[in-house]
Amino acid sequence: MAHRIIFWVVRFFYRLNQEHLFSRASALFQYKDFLMRFVTLITFFILFSCSLAQDRENVQHQRVMFWNVENAFWPDDDTLRLDDEYTPEGIRHWTRGRLRQKLLQLSRVIVAAGDGMAPMVVGLAEVEGDSVMHYWTHSTPLRDLHYNYIVSNGPDVRGIQTALLYQPSDFKLLHADFHRVKLPDGVRPTRDVLHAAGRVVSGDTLDVIVCHLPSRLGGAKLSQKARDAAHRTVMHLADSLRGIRRKPSIVIMGDMNDYAKASKAWWGKDYTNLMVGLQRSLKRHPSHYGSHKYQGTWGFLDQFVVHAGCPRLSFSDACSFSLPFMLTEDVTYLGHRPKRSYYGYEFEGGYSDHLPILLDLDIVF
């Protein structure tokens, strides 16, 4: 807009200075200086107004990330948890050196996913508590990204938890809490649902919910009641936030242990599952990557579900994220699969059996 105004002003002055223009209109020539001053004044006023309008509509682009990092265990035995498998004496010979290698790998991906800038928030599943998070953020190169973290302390029998990394300069933490999932009798305890509320640059509050719904171990149908119970906990939390916020913006992120559902009965008419279209596209393009590969088929177990109540916060471009070094050849089902820490019981030295998912957040301020 501004460059067009300058173009027309310059063009006006040029024509005004053409001798033949004033030879036909001597009266206009007498007021040449006045006109030039007047047009200059108007031009500066318009340019100043455009500058103010632009300042009022600055947009900050932020990235949101979720990743099930698969068995990021602290190698010391916790006698209250079933974590013996991931100890130096366990069947996998899990050591602090192997954990450090895994965390270095994960850090590399987080940096790459942010296009050179750290994602504002990173939701995590399958980390074994505060020991892992403290070591990761203080004793690996991730410390250079200056993340703070929140981690749950839920009753999962293996000790794996939900967690959140956040940039305190961009996501000023206002509140964090954890919600226990009440499961049917006889079902083993699962992970807590993590909730964090933070203020973003526009002054608005962004609510982030991180969840890891019960697994499909034993079959999808047999485990469905447990997932339903965890889902009710998530939705009760999200709906309660809508009741106390004037214009709530909510991001639910997590490993849902089920493929993306379009059903309004599942998420409700006021929420949008951003992975539904991506899940459908995998049927048309089976060579594309989801977030998880099971028996040769890619799908989106990991999902973003949003409620966009604040007009200054908008969500877009959800996707899975991968780089060549995160993948390896799938010799069983062809194509590629995520490169894991272990493939079976063989140490593969990779990342996770899940790929991370990303979401862009635009903040108008």
Buried b (16+ CB within 10 A) or exposed e, 1-12: eeeeeeeebeee
Among 56, 73, 96, identify where a domain stops.
56
Looking at the fold, whether 168 and 275 belong to one and the same domain comes out as yes
pLDDT tops 90 at residue 137: yes
Looking at the fold, whether 17 and 86 belong to one and the same domain comes out as no
- Distance CA(278)–CA(248), nearest Å, equals 25
- Give pLDDT, residue 268: 86
- Give pLDDT, residue 30: 55
Average pLDDT on 50-60 reads 64
Looking at the fold, whether 115 and 11 belong to one and the same domain comes out as no
256-282 confidence digits (pLDDT tens): 999 987 667 788 889 999 999 999 999
Among 22, 37, 56, identify where a domain stops.
56
Report CA-CA distances (Å) from 221 to 12, 224, 266.
75, 5, 16
pLDDT bracket for residue 283 (50, 70, 90): confident
pLDDT tops 50 at residue 9: no
- Give the CATH number, domain containing residue 97: 3.60.10.10
Among 32, 56, 80, identify where a domain stops.
56
Looking at the fold, whether 112 and 19 belong to one and the same domain comes out as no
- Give pLDDT, residue 10: 44
Q: Domain containing 334: what range?
A: 60-364
At CB < 8 A and 24+ separation, what contacts does 145-152 make? 145/110, 145/111, 145/118, 146/118, 147/118, 147/122, 148/173, 150/176, 150/194, 150/196, 151/127, 151/194, 152/178, 152/191, 152/192, 152/194
Looking at the fold, whether 52 and 111 belong to one and the same domain comes out as no
Question: 96-113 and 129-139 helices cross at what angle (nearest 10)?
Answer: 70
Question: 2-16 and 32-56 helices cross at what angle (nearest 10)?
Answer: 180
156-210 confidence digits (pLDDT tens): 999 999 999 999 999 999 999 999 999 999 899 999 999 999 999 999 999 999 9
The amino acid occupying position 85 is E
Number of domain units in the chain: 2
Residues 6+ away with beta carbon under 8 Å from 58? 364, 365
- Give pLDDT, residue 35: 58
Q: Report which DSSP code applies to 141.
A: G
Looking at the fold, whether 66 and 28 belong to one and the same domain comes out as no
Looking at the fold, whether 304 and 179 belong to one and the same domain comes out as yes
Looking at the fold, whether 152 and 293 belong to one and the same domain comes out as yes
Neighbours of 71 (CB within 10 A): 22
Looking at the fold, whether 299 and 347 belong to one and the same domain comes out as yes
Looking at the fold, whether 281 and 225 belong to one and the same domain comes out as yes
Looking at the fold, whether 161 and 22 belong to one and the same domain comes out as no
Looking at the fold, whether 29 and 66 belong to one and the same domain comes out as no
Higher pLDDT, 118 or 12: 118
